[in-house]
């Protein structure tokens, strides 16, 4: 996966790969949605699939930043939110 996604990987800690798991980090929910869609498009263009049932997200609050409300979604399908990984 590292080779297939080399062109879209960001620097740590914004993008981390662990075996077949990927961690995408962004300061906004819209940014996470953009990254998730970019990864989906890239992987599917190479013949891979992003599992809609295994994809999850966790919101982390750092400092006093206010977070916008809304969903993280993958092709208009809402991604389930988890409190821990």
Q: With respect to residue 51, please indicate whether it lies within any of the assigned structural domains.
A: yes
Q: What pairing do the DSSP bridges indicate for beta strands 56-57 and 80-81?
A: parallel
Distance CA 76, CA 9 (A): 23
Indicate whether 75 belongs to any domain.
yes
**56 found inside a domain:** yes
Could you tell me if residue 41 is inside a domain? yes
- Is 10 part of a structural domain of the chain? no
Count CA atoms closer than 13 A to 67's CA, side-chain side: 17
Domain membership flag for residue 84: no
- What would the mean pLDDT of 58-79 be, rounded to a whole number? 81
**Residue 7 located in a structural domain:** no
Q: Using a cut of 0.85, tell me whether the model's pTM lies above it.
A: no
Task: Report residue 37's pLDDT band, with 50, 70 and 90 as the boundaries.
Answer: very high
Q: Domain total for the chain?
A: 1
Could you list the residue range(s) of the whole structural domain that residue 40 is in? 15-79
């Amino acid at each position: 996966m590292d080779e297939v996604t080399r062109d879209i990987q960001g620097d740590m800690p914004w993008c981390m790969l662990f075996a077949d798991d990927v961690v995408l980090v962004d300061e906004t929910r819209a940014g996470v949605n953009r990254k998730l869609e970019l990864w989906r498009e890239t992987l599917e263009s190479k013949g891979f699939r992003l599992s809609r049932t295994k994809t999850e997200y966790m919101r982390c609050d750092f400092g006093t930043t206010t977070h916008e409300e809304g969903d993280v979604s993958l092709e208009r399908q809402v991604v389930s939110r988890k409190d821990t990984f």
